[in-house]
């Protein structure tokens, strides 16, 4: 059984801080299919469209019949460890600082042999559940996990290096007024977070939750207005070195399309939803990027909560949808800019949240508690793209199938 | 169809350029040195040479084509054998057929590689597409980790102990002490082998080869040509090669030799009992033990018992890797795939000096190469005969 991860000791500023390095990140184009699946928590391998043979490592032609029609499909994860090793010597700078490192060979029930990372609870002869996860280089990698979940299994150092688990980490939630703020605090503490900072803008305008949240143990409510550059910089100067996970809950929503609406509302939406994200990233990103290899409470993830209409506009919320598309685009650039540090950019795409601004919409809507659960699950699993609620999942599937058809359905024209 | 024999073709002028742990010199430099030496033995000038076969990992951005201009050669037959540890035997069998068919008179077969500081890491990280995608990112242990996995499964399957592997390494070190070109120059005991620092379990330090720079070479020509030049030569009685054998095996517990070994002995006209000395490809003692089994010296799973019952040194009852193998002589990249072959030519032509095995008339050489993902894909073997010492 995995040893329980202990809270990190207070840092000694005279000791060397481990600098961010990445595991090998070059991949063939075919192998990026693993990365794409891992990014959303799926387990997919290539299946031959002609003979059905399952392929691994990823290929350009079937090793059984030479067909070039290989499709990525959800695949059974079960297999057996047939060999294991503990690596004590490596020429790679990333692994040299993390030795010894265990890897193994697993025979999957669907056929191929997979060379993979081994969770500490599995060894030769064991039945396992294979998982695909993103490593620090942002590439999809295989890790063999125990078939049964055990209480502290996420504490395994090799598995933990592939996730953004909140345990013993300090979190900044940027907007206390988000209906998800309180459920997020509860879910993060349940997952083992050590401290939570909560941003509050215009503190003279206290919301009903302020007193309850401010009274919580290990929670600090601090002034933060993402539309104000100096406010963001001031908070980063104060707590930037202590933020291991940043969850951006700030958002501004007003209903209405583009033709009839006042651009003042649109400006506010872009100011908070798109430029606010940029300000947060500019203020907190560099500091977080420098601490991604810094022990148990290293900086690990920057989480952005987006409407799923970032993918395809909802005309009833036209300017808001545009701000979400802009935020998604910014997050993709940030992901590239964070890449060299291993800091993970997680986008949580949600359907309409059950709050005051989405009252005109019919159900199903996402309860704030469900959104909080998705965010924390995304961190615990280490995925890059989380789709929360039935509306978001349904829309993602339709978007993946055909973005144009989805657009027509959303803008009227589907039966 | 029954394969033709190699009558009338011989292999001669074996040369080894002494290995160096790290060197600033390029593969071109190492290959040039081996080529010059082997041509000097035969009293051939570079412009006279009409056949050239090259194996190297570190020629980039050149290929053997670029080498012809670089080295001032005008061959009418040019080959590139990118098969790592299987390169020597494969280069030999291709060259022998070309000489036999009259496409070429003399082929110089050369393997050489550079080893600068950090070049090993760079080679590992881009060794093959499958390695880049599916093995190197998993701890970056390189071939040590990949073969450790094979060793783990092999030991569990056949009840092999570290001592069994150790016997192979210790005997080879004893042999290397008689080979002036070996990188390793101090004796190795079984206790030292067993207490070595771990590299990738179950492997310790003395299971692993030392990457270095160096080159090896030999000439292939017609027998009458060798006679007229007064060269000592060896005959080729049989050869085999195979790639990606047994792809359905979940883990590599056997190599490609198993598919072809019967044909090898049939062509040679004898069985394993007629072999006077064996040169295996020893990137790890495990792989040598696998070859004892797959080349028919013992049954599958009997490799451990075989090494317990035999003395693998130069003066023993089963002389094996008489120049110390890569484990003790060093692994000079693709030249590692030539080391055993060049030593075997010296042995059966009575030119092995300090490592000479008495009455060494029939030698077997086997090659193994290219761990593309989870297993070595190339296997090869040859039987050479000569007058011996």
Interface test with A, best of B115, B132, B133 (most A CBs within 10 A): B133
Q: Do the chains contact at B139 and A94, CB–CB below 8 Å?
A: no
Whether A53 contacts chain B with CB within 8 A? no
- When the pLDDT of each residue in chain B is averaged and rounded to a whole number, the result is 96
User: What is the model's pLDDT at position B158?
Assistant: 98
CA A67 to chain centre: 35
Q: What is the ipTM of this complex?
A: 0.95
The mean pLDDT of B272-292, rounded to a whole number, is 98
Q: Nearest CA of chain A to the CA of B127: how many Å?
A: 12
CA distance A314 to A255: 10
User: What is the model's pLDDT at position B185?
Assistant: 94
Split at pLDDT 50, 70, 90, the class of A283 is very high
The mean pLDDT of A174-190, rounded to a whole number, is 96
The mean pLDDT of A236-257, rounded to a whole number, is 95
Tell whether the model's pLDDT for residue A261 goes beyond 80: no
Outline where chain B has alpha helix (H). Answer: 27-42, 64-71, 87-101, 119-125, 129-134, 142-158, 162-176, 190-194, 223-228, 257-268, 285-294, 303-309, 325-329, 336-348
The mean pLDDT of A268-289, rounded to a whole number, is 97
Report percent pLDDT > 70 for chain B: 100
Whether B136 contacts chain A with CB within 8 A? yes
Whether A92 contacts chain B with CB within 8 A? yes
The mean pLDDT of A119-141, rounded to a whole number, is 98
Of A217-221, A270-274, B124-128, B308-312, which range is least confident? B124-128
Q: Do the chains contact at B133 and A124, CB–CB below 8 Å?
A: no
The mean pLDDT of A224-246, rounded to a whole number, is 97
The mean pLDDT of B307-336, rounded to a whole number, is 97
Tell whether the model's pLDDT for residue A206 goes beyond 80: no
Query: Which residues 47-106 of B are in CB contact (within 8 Å) with A?
Result: none
Q: Do the chains contact at A90 and B141, CB–CB below 8 Å?
A: yes
Report percent pLDDT > 90 for chain B: 96
Whether B133 contacts chain A with CB within 8 A? yes
User: What is the model's pLDDT at position A362?
Assistant: 80
Tell whether the model's pLDDT for residue A415 goes beyond 70: no
Interface test with A, best of B126, B134, B249 (most A CBs within 10 A): B134
The mean pLDDT of B285-295, rounded to a whole number, is 98
Split at pLDDT 50, 70, 90, the class of A356 is confident
The mean pLDDT of A348-360, rounded to a whole number, is 87
User: What is the model's pLDDT at position B192?
Assistant: 98
The mean pLDDT of A197-225, rounded to a whole number, is 91
The mean pLDDT of A61-74, rounded to a whole number, is 98
Residue from the list B118, B141, B250 with its beta carbon closest to the beta carbon of A113: B250
Three-state secondary structure readout of chain A = CCCCCCCCCCCCCCCCCCCCCCCCCCCCCCCHHHHHHHHCCCCEEEEECCCCCEECCCCCCCCCCCCCCEEEEECCCEEEEEEEEEECCCCCHHHHCCCCEEEEEEEECCCCEEEEEECCCCCCCCEEEEEEEECCCCCEEEEEEECCCCCCHHHCHHHHCCCCCCCCCEEEECCCCCCCHHHHHHHHHHCCCCEEEEEECCCCCCCCCHHHHHCCCCEEEEECCCCCHHHHHHHHHHHHHHCCEEEECCCCCCCECCCCCCHHHHHHHHHHHHHHHHHHHHHHHHHHHCCCCCCCCCCCEEEEEEEHHHCCCCCCEHHHHHHHHHHHHHHHHHHHHHHHHCCEEEEEEECCECCHHHCCCCCCCECHHHHHHHHHHHHHHCCCEEEEHHHHHHHHHHHHHCHHHHHHHHCCCCC
**If we measure between CA atoms, which residue out of A317, A175, A186, A338 comes closest to residue A254?**
A317
Whether B125 contacts chain A with CB within 8 A? yes
Q: What is the tens place of the pLDDT at every residue in B13-38?
A: 999 999 999 999 999 999 999 999 99
Q: Which chain B residues have a beta carbon less than 8 Å from that of A30?
A: 133
Of A354-358, B212-216, B256-260, which range is least confident? A354-358
B151 → chain A, closest CA residue:
A83
**If we measure between CA atoms, which residue out of A226, A177, A175, A176 comes closest to residue A356?**
A177
Q: Do the chains contact at A31 and B120, CB–CB below 8 Å?
A: no
Q: What is the tens place of the pLDDT at every residue in A297-336?
A: 999 999 999 999 999 999 999 999 999 999 999 999 999 9
- When the pLDDT of each residue in chain A is averaged and rounded to a whole number, the result is 95
Pairs across A and B, CB distance < 8 A: 127
User: What is the model's pLDDT at position A165?
Assistant: 98
User: What is the model's pLDDT at position A413?
Assistant: 73
Q: Which chain A residues have a beta carbon less than 8 Å from that of B130?
A: 57
Q: Do the chains contact at A85 and B149, CB–CB below 8 Å?
A: yes
Whether A396 contacts chain B with CB within 8 A? no
Whether A342 contacts chain B with CB within 8 A? no
Q: Which residue has the higher pLDDT, A408 or A261?
A: A408
Whether A117 contacts chain B with CB within 8 A? yes
Split at pLDDT 50, 70, 90, the class of A363 is confident
A101 → chain B, closest CA residue:
B139
Q: What is the tens place of the pLDDT at every residue in B116-174?
A: 887 777 777 778 999 999 999 999 999 999 999 999 999 999 999 999 999 999 999 99
Q: Which chain A residues have a beta carbon less than 8 Å from that of B209?
A: none
Split at pLDDT 50, 70, 90, the class of A268 is very high
Q: Do the chains contact at B198 and A86, CB–CB below 8 Å?
A: yes
């Amino acid at each position: 059984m995995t040893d329980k991860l202990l809270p990190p000791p207070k840092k000694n500023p005279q000791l060397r801080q481990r600098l961010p390095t990445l595991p090998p990140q070059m991949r063939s184009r075919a192998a990026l299919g693993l990365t794409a699946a891992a990014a959303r928590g799926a387990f997919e391998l290539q299946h031959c469209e002609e003979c059905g043979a399952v392929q691994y490592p990823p290929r350009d032609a079937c090793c059984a019949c030479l067909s070039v029609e290989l499709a990525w499909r959800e695949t059974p994860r079960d297999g057996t460890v047939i060999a294991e090793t503990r690596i004590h010597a490596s020429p790679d700078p990333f692994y040299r600082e993390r030795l010894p490192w265990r890897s193994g060979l697993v025979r999957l029930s669907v056929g191929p042999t997979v060379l993979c990372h081994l969770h500490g609870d599995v060894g030769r002869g064991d039945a396992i559940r294979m998982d695909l996860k993103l490593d620090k280089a942002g590439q999809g990698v295989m890790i063999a996990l125990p078939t049964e979940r055990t209480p502290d299994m996420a504490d395994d150092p090799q598995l933990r290096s592939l996730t953004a688990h909140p345990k013993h980490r300090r979190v900044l939630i940027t907007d206390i007024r988000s209906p998800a703020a309180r459920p997020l605090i509860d879910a993060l503490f349940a997952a083992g977070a050590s401290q939570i900072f909560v941003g509050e803008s215009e503190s003279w305008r206290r919301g009903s939750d302020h007193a309850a949240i401010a009274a919580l143990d290990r929670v600090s409510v601090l002034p933060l207005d993402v539309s104000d550059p100096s406010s963001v910089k001031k908070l980063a100067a104060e707590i930037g070195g202590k933020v291991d996970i940043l969850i951006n809950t700030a958002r501004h929503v007003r209903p209405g399309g583009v033709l009839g609406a006042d651009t003042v509302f649109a400006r506010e939406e872009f100011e908070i939803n798109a430029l606010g994200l940029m300000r947060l990233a500019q203020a907190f990103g560099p500091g977080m990027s420098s601490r991604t290899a810094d022990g148990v409470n290293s900086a690990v993830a920057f989480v952005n909560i987006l409407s799923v209409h970032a993918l395809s506009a909802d005309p009833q919320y036209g300017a808001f949808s545009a701000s979400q598309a802009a935020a998604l685009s910014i997050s993709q650039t940030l992901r590239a800019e964070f890449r060299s540090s291993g800091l993970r950019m997680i986008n949580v795409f949600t359907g309409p949240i059950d709050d005051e601004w989405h009252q005109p919409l019919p159900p199903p809507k996402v309860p704030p508690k469900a959104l909080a659960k998705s965010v924390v699950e995304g961190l615990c699993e280490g995925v890059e793209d989380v789709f929360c609620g039935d509306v978001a999942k349904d829309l993602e599937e339709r978007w993946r199938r055909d973005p144009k058809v989805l657009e027509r359905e959303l803008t009227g024209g589907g039966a | 169809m029954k394969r033709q024999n190699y009558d009338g073709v011989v292999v001669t002028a074996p040369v080894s350029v002494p290995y160096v742990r790290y060197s600033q010199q390029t593969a071109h430099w190492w290959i040039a040195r081996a080529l010059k030496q082997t041509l000097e033995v035969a009293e051939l000038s570079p412009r006279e040479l009409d056949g050239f076969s090259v194996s190297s990992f570190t020629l980039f951005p050149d290929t053997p084509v670029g080498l012809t201009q670089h080295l001032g050669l005008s061959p009418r037959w040019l080959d590139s054998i990118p098969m790592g540890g299987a390169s020597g035997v494969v280069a030999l069998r291709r060259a022998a057929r070309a000489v036999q068919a009259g496409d070429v008179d003399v082929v110089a077969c050369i393997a050489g590689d550079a080893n600068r500081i950090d070049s090993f890491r760079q080679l590992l990280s881009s060794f093959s597409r499958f390695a880049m995608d599916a093995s190197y990112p998993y701890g970056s242990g390189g071939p040590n980790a990949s073969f450790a996995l094979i060793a783990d499964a092999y030991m569990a399957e056949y009840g092999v102990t570290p001592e069994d592997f150790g016997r192979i390494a210790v005997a080879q070190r004893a042999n290397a002490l008689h080979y002036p070109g070996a990188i390793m120059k101090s004796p190795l005991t079984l206790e030292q082998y067993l207490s070595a620092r771990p590299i990738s379990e179950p492997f310790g330090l003395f299971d692993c080869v030392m990457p270095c720079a160096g080159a090896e070479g030999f000439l292939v020509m017609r027998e009458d040509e060798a006679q007229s030049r007064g060269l000592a030569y060896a005959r080729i009685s049989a050869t085999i090669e195979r790639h990606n054998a047994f792809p359905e095996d979940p883990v590599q517990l056997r190599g490609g030799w198993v598919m072809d070994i019967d044909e090898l002995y049939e062509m040679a006209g004898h069985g394993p009992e007629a072999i006077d000395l064996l040169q295996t490809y020893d990137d790890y003692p495990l792989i040598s033990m696998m070859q004892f089994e797959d080349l028919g010296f013992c049954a599958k799973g009997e490799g451990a018992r075989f090494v317990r019952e035999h003395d693998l040194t130069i003066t023993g009852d089963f002389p094996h890797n008489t120049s110390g193998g890569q484990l003790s002589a060093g692994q000079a990249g693709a030249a590692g795939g030539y080391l055993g072959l060049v030593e075997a030519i010296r042995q059966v032509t009575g030119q092995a000096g300090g490592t000479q095995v008495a009455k060494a008339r029939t030698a077997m050489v086997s090659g193994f190469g290219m761990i593309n993902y989870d297993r070595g894909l190339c296997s090869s073997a040859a039987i050479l005969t000569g007058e011996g010492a």
